Amino acid sequence: MTTVGFIGLGIMGAPMATNLIKAGYEVVGYDHDPARNEILAQAGGHVAGGVAELVRRSETVITMVRDSADVEAVALGEDGILAHSRPGQLYIDMSSISPQTARRVAEAATAYQVRVLDAPVSGGEAGAIEGSLSIMVGGEADDVAAARPILDVLGATVVHVGPHGAGQTVKAANQLIVAGTIELVAEAIVFLEAYGVDTEAAVKVLAGGLAGNRILERKAAGMLARQFQPGFRIDLHHKDMGIVTAAAREAGVVIPLGAAVAQLIAALRAQGDGGLDHTALLKLVEQLSGRARA
């Protein structure tokens, strides 16, 4: 089967790479953190000494890194993916970055005859582990078809949403909805607790009605228990809200609720909670309500 190079073996990347190994792909991985490389090796993957070796050994290269700057560095840098690529290679960026950066990378790749897709994901760590991610793909239809066997291993919902950058645009919308939903669930929990309601029972009935959503299903139990280990860090959601607010301004679209939630996430991060799961918005609601726990 195709050899897949996987750059970025963090909370999301490691289980995604592991699922490819389980599906029979030969995976060559690389991360700046040696401990992460060791996890891949223990799962049956091969560790490259750097980007150049990884690209040389792979037919398809995937990146799952932190932000736009990281993608630009690893893809466009002097010692990056494109610099060591060969015509016909497929490069799939699955990070969450700005649509502008995704288009810039795809444009740069044309000079190298490298096929590029932006394919960010939603579903968090649990979805990465389960192989049930939702994957929104931007790029040429033929390239999406070529990548689909790989993407189908990683996600349960794989949809081609348009040209280069479209995947990142849809991901920005996803992050807007997720942040807003977490904030409303947090507010509802603090509201219910203030009245002494059985919150577990309340969450169960809310999840079964029109208010039902994936946050209630997957995140509410941890929120009730005040367990905020990531997951998906506040730091990363802060980055994503910066992407969506900037893109909305560029398009002339007003997102008043989204902008307010972006500020709440920024406030929580400024208090030193950037390493917590994004459901830690609950902590800020408690503080603003004068109900902060010791």
* Active-site annotation, residues: 171
Calculated CA dihedral for residues 278, 282, 283, 285, nearest 10 degrees: 130
Q: Where are the alpha helices (DSSP H) in the chain?
A: 13-22, 34-42, 51-57, 68-76, 99-110, 124-130, 141-154, 166-194, 199-207, 214-218, 220-224, 234-251, 256-268, 281-288
In angstroms, the CA 74 to CA 203 distance is: 43
List Cβ neighbours of 193 (8 Å cut-off, separation of 6 or more): 199, 291
C-beta separation of 128 from 16 below 8 A: yes
> In 10 A of CB 175, how many CB atoms?
24
In angstroms, the CA 163 to CA 174 distance is: 18
Angle between the N-to-C axes of helices 234-251 and 166-194, in degrees from 0 to 180, rounded to the nearest 10: 120
C-beta separation of 55 from 61 below 8 A: yes
- Could you give the angle at the alpha carbon of 23 between the alpha carbons of 17 and 24, nearest 5°? 95
Backbone angles phi, psi at 13, to 5 degrees: -65, -40
Taking the CA atoms of 190, 193, 199 and 205 in sequence, report the sign of the dihedral they define.
Answer: negative
3-class DSSP state of 159: strand
Which amino acid, residue 62? I
Residue in this structure with the two tokens 């790989």, named with its chain if needed: 150
